[in-house]
Amino acid sequence: MTNKKRPETWQEVNLGCMVFSPGNASEYHTGSWRDRRPVYDNSKCIKCGICYIFCPEGCISQDADGYFVADLDYCKGCGICAHECWPGAITMLQEG
Amino acid sequence: MTRRTGMEIAFAAAEAVALCKPDVVAAYPITPNTHIPEHLSDIVADGRIDADFICVESEHSALSACCGASAAGARTFTATSSQGLLFMAEVMPIVSAMRLPVVMAIGNRALSAPINIWNDHSDIMSQRDTGWISVFASNGQEVVDMVIQGFKIAEHRDVLLPLNINLDGFQLTHVVEPMLFPDQEEVERFLPEYKPYATVHPDRVVSMGTLGMPEIFNEAMKAKDMGLINSKKVILEVWREWEEQFGRKHEPIEAYRTEGANVLLLTVGSMGETAEVAIDELRDRKMPAGLLKLKLWRPFPLEELRKAVKGAKVLAVMDRAVSCGGSAGPVCAEVKSALYGEPGCPVIVNYIIGLGGRDVTAEDFIQIVEKAAKADKEKPKEAYEIYGVRGS
Ligand code: SF4
Ligand code: SF4
C-alpha cells in the first residue's frame, strides 16, 4: 500500500488502482488544457463572489483586499466566470 | 454434520449463502432467480444470520449497493437474471476493476425480445468480458458447493475479484433435488473470515474507482486481466481443498466417458446432465462418444481444454446463446480460438440449442453426436446450426 507516482509497469499498479494519498488530484495541473485565461478588471469588480461560486474547477480564491483571483495552474479557461460576472469585470484573453 | 436435504435449488443457493454469513445482501427480484434473494430475506428477517438485506429499486442499484458495501469491507451477495443482469452491466466491470469480491448467483434466462422468462445463456454471455470469475453449475449440489467455494475464491488475497455462479433458470432454479449441506462448523473450517485488503473508512483514507488517464489505462487493464488469469491457480487450490474436506471433486472441465472417444460433446450448465444420459445410450450402442462439461468459463481453462480434446476426431460444442452475426456461438468461438493451430485439433462443429427454454432431450444429443460424427468426412455447410429450428 505505497503511494507512488505514475507506475512504470503494470505490476506496479496498485490493486484495483486504489489511491492511498488523499487529495493528490491537485498534482494534476488542469491549467495546461487552457486556451483562454480570465483577466480581472478590479475597478469593475463589486466583490460579489459569483465567479468564485460558479467556477467548476474551484480554482478562484479571494485575496487580502477582497478581490478574486484564478489559480492558473488549474483554470481550464472555460469562461464561465466571465459569463457569470454581471458587472463585466472578467474578460477572456487568448493564450499566446 | 453434513445433512442430505431435498429442496428447491434456488432455496438451496440461499441456504448456502446463509452458511457463509454474508454481511450485506442487495437484490431486486426478477424471474427465475427471485427465490434466491426472497429466501435470503426470510433468513435475515428470521434472524438466522446477522446481515443487512437492502431492498433496492433496481438491479443497477443492487449491484451498486453491493459495490459500496464490499468497498466498506462487507461480505456481499446478490443475485439476478436476464435483463436484470443487463441493468447491472454498467457496474459489472467497475466491481471487478475495483477488485471487490462480490458473489452473485445468476439464474440464467434468455434476453428479450420477445419476452421470455425461460433459460438460455444469453444473459451471462453478454457480460463475459467484464472481468468476473464465472462458473457454471450442472446440478443443485454444484450450486451449493460453488456458492461456498465462491466466497473463498473471490475473497482470497491473491484473487480479490467478483465471482458469478450460473445456474440455469427453471432447469436448476426451480427444481427440487436432494443436496448435501455442510454444517456451520464445517463451512467455517473451510471458509476463513473475510479480511478486506483495504476499506473505505474515515480513519484510513483510500480512494477507489478514481480517474485513470490514457498513460495508465493499458497498465490498469493488464493488471486486471492478469488478476483474472492468475485466479485460476487459487480456484484449483480451493477446489482441491473442497475435495479433501467434502469429498466432491470439481474441475474446470469435467470429462465423462471420454476414453477412446471419436466424438466429444462439450456442454455448459445443466444440459451436461442430460448429455450424460445420451452418452450412456451411445456407449451401449458401441459408439465411442464422450462428454466434456465446462464448469469454469472465466478465466477460460485453455490448457485443460487442449488436453481434454486430444485424440478426438470431432468436437461438437453446444451453445445456449446466439452471437448474432458472429462466427459461432460464444462458447464455440472461445473453444475454436483456444484450439487454433493445435496439432491434431479435432474438427469443431457448433450447435446452438435450448434457446429461451426450448426443451433439450437426451435424444437430441444422440442425434447431434450422430450428425457430428460425419463432420470429419464432410464439412457442415454452416459454421453453426440452431439445432431443431423449424424451417432449416
Ligand atoms: S475560466 Fe473557468 S476554470 Fe478558469 S477561473 Fe474562470 S470559471 Fe474557473
Ligand atoms: S463575479 Fe465579477 S464582480 Fe463578482 S466577484 Fe467575481 S469578478 Fe468581482
Dihedral angle over CA of B314, B320, B12, B179, nearest 10 = -20
Please identify, by atom number, the ligand 2 atom nearest to the C-alpha of residue A54. Answer: 1
Could you tell me the pLDDT band of residue B183, with boundaries at 50, 70 and 90? very high
Kindly list the protein residues whose Cβ atom lies closer than 6 A to any atom of ligand 1: A 38, 55, 57, 59-60, 70, 75-81
Q: Which secondary structure element, helix H or strand E, spans residue A83, and what is its range?
A: helix A80-84
Q: Is the pLDDT higher at A22 or at B371?
A: B371
Q: What is the ipTM of this complex?
A: 0.88
- Is residue B113, in this structure, part of any structural domain at all? yes
Q: Which long-range contacts (CB under 8 A, 24 or more apart) does B204-207 make?
A: B205/A20, B205/A22, B206/A18, B206/A19, B206/A20, B207/A18, B207/A19, B207/A20, B207/A22
Clarify whether residues B203 and B260 are in a common domain: no
Query: Mean pLDDT, chain B, as a whole number?
Result: 97
First to last CA, chain A: 43
ω into B32 cis (within 30 of 0): yes
- Is the pLDDT at B41 greater than 80? The verdict is yes
Q: How far apart are CA B152 and CA B239, in angstroms?
A: 10
What pLDDT does B187 receive? Answer: 98
The C-alpha cell at B49 is 444470520
Spatial contact of B36 and B9, defined as CB atoms under 8 Å apart:
no
Spatial distance between the Cα atoms of A56 and B371, rounded to a whole number of angstroms? 66
Report the alpha-carbon distance of residue B226 to residue B236 in Å, rounded: 16
Residues 6 or more apart in contact with residue B93 via CB below 8 angstroms: B130, B131
Q: Which of A2, A5, A11, A18 to mutate to test the interface with B (most CBs of B within 10 A)?
A: A18
- Check if A46 contacts B (Cβ < 8 Å): no
Would the CB atoms of A17 and B222 count as touching at under 8 Å? no
Contacts of A1 in chain B (CB under 8 A): 198
Please tell me the distance between residue A57's alpha carbon and the centre of ligand 1 in angstroms. 7
Choosing from A34, A39, A55 the residue with most ligand 1 atoms within 8 A of its CB, the one to mutate for a pocket test is A55
What fold does the segment set A30-94 form as a domain?
Answer: Alpha-Beta Plaits (3.30.70)
pLDDT band for position A1 (cuts 50, 70, 90)? very low
Task: Using the predicted structure, report yes or no on whether residue B205 has a pLDDT greater than 90.
Answer: no
Residue B273 domain-assigned (yes or no): yes
Residue nearest (by alpha carbon) to ligand 1 atom 8:
A55
Ligand nearest to the CA of A76: 1
Q: Quick one: average pLDDT of B324-352? A: 97
The residue from B229, B246, B263 where one domain ends is: B246
Cβ distance B207 to A1 less than 8 Å, yes or no, reads: no
Question: DSSP string spanning B289-336?
Answer: EEEEEE-EEES--HHHHHHHTTT-SEEEEEESS--TTSSS-HHHHHHH
Average pLDDT, stretch B319-324?
98
A9 vs B contacts (CB less than 8 Å): 219
The alpha carbon of A27 and the centre of ligand 2 are apart by a number of angstroms equal to 27
Give the atom of ligand 1 at the shortest distance from the alpha carbon of A71.
Answer: 5
Instruction: Indicate whether A3 pLDDT > 60.
Output: no
Q: Which of A47-51, B276-280, B373-377 has the lowest mean pLDDT?
A: B373-377
- Please say if the pLDDT value at position B67 is more than 80: yes
B276 and B208 housed in the same domain: no
On chain B, the residues whose CB falls within 8 A of the CB of A16 are: 97-100, 160, 197, 208
pLDDT in tens, B208-263: 999 898 999 999 999 999 999 999 999 999 999 999 999 999 999 999 999 999 99
Q: Give me B220's grid cell.
A: 490498469
Residue B391 covered by a domain: no
Using pLDDT thresholds of 50, 70 and 90, give the confidence band for residue B204: confident
H-state helical runs in chain B: 9-19, 35-45, 59-71, 82-88, 92-97, 122-126, 140-155, 184-190, 214-246, 271-284, 302-308, 330-339, 362-372
| CA pair distance B166, B159, nearest whole angstrom | 19
pTM of the model: 0.92
Cβ distance of A18 and B226 shorter than 8 Å: no
In DSSP notation, B94-146 reads: HHHHTT---EEEEEE-PPSSS---S--SHHHHHTTTSS-EEEE-SSHHHHHHH
**Nearest CA residue ID for atom 2, ligand 2:** A85
Rounded distance from Cα A91 to ligand 2 centre (Å) = 11
Domain boundary residue among B189, B222, B246? Answer: B246
**B206 neighbourhood in chain A, CB within 8 Å:** 18-20
Tell me: pLDDT of A2 over 70. Answer: no
A29 Cα to the center of ligand 1, angstroms: 13
pLDDT tens digits for range B128-148: 999 999 999 999 999 999 999
Does B208 contact A18 at a Cβ distance shorter than 8 Å? yes
In the chain, the amino acid numbered B134 is S
Q: Domain of B298? A: 253-386
Does residue B218 form part of some domain? yes
pLDDT digits (tens, 9 = 90+) for B82-106: 999 999 999 999 999 999 999 999 9
Question: Would you say residue B392 lies in a domain?
Answer: no
Q: How confident is the model at residue A25 (pLDDT cuts 50, 70, 90)?
A: confident
Give yes or no: residues B258 and B329 share one domain.
Answer: yes
Element (H, E) at A51: helix A50-54
- The Cβ of residue B259 has, within 10 Å, a number of other Cβ atoms equal to 9
Q: How confident is the model at residue B57 (pLDDT cuts 50, 70, 90)?
A: very high
CB environment B334-354: b (16+ within 10 A), e (fewer) = bbbebbeeeeebbbbbbbbbb
Are A51 and A92 spatial neighbours (Cβ–Cβ below 8 Å)?
A: no
- What residue owns the CA closest to ligand 1's atom 2? A78
B148 burial level (CB within 10 Å; 0-12, 13-18, 19+): buried
A26 touching chain B per CB within 8 A? no
* Residue B278 main-chain phi, psi, to 5 deg: -65, -40
Compute the half-sphere exposure of residue B150: CA atoms within 13 Å on the CB side of its CA: 39
Number of domains in chain B: 2
| Among B368, B370, B364, B380, residue whose Cα is nearest residue B287 | B370
Q: Do A16 and B97 touch (CB under 8 A)?
A: yes
Q: Are residues B290 and B310 in the same domain?
A: yes
Ligand 2 residue neighbourhood (C-beta within 6 Å): A 40, 45-51, 68, 85, 87, 89-90
The residue that leads in pLDDT, A6 or A89, is: A89
Nearest listed ligand to the Cα of residue A90: 2
Total CB pairs under 8 A between chain A and B = 55
Residue with cell 462466427: B327
Give residue A96's pLDDT band: very low, low, confident or very high (50, 70, 90).
confident
Residues B339 and B258 in one domain: yes
Give B392's pLDDT tier (boundaries 50, 70, 90).
Answer: low
Is pLDDT of A5 > 80?
no
B225 and B129 together in one domain = yes
Same domain, B52 and B195: yes
Q: How many Å separate Cα B353 from the centre of its chain?
A: 18
Give the closest residue (by CA) to ligand 2 atom 4: A48
**Residue of chain A whose Cα is closest to the Cα of B223:** A10
Whether B235 and B264 share a structural domain = no
The alpha carbon of residue A64 is apart from the nearest alpha carbon of chain B, in Å, by: 33
Report the pLDDT value the prediction gives residue B266, as an integer from 0 to 100. 98
- Give the domain CATH number at B152: 3.40.50.970
- CA-to-CA distance for B166 and B105, rounded, in angstroms? 6
With vertex at residue B224, the alpha carbon angle to CA B222 and CA B229, rounded to the nearest 5 degrees, is: 90
Answer with the one of B246, B267, B298 that is the final residue of a domain.
B246
Question: Is B152's pLDDT higher than 70?
Answer: yes
Chain B contact for A53 (CB, 8 A cutoff): no
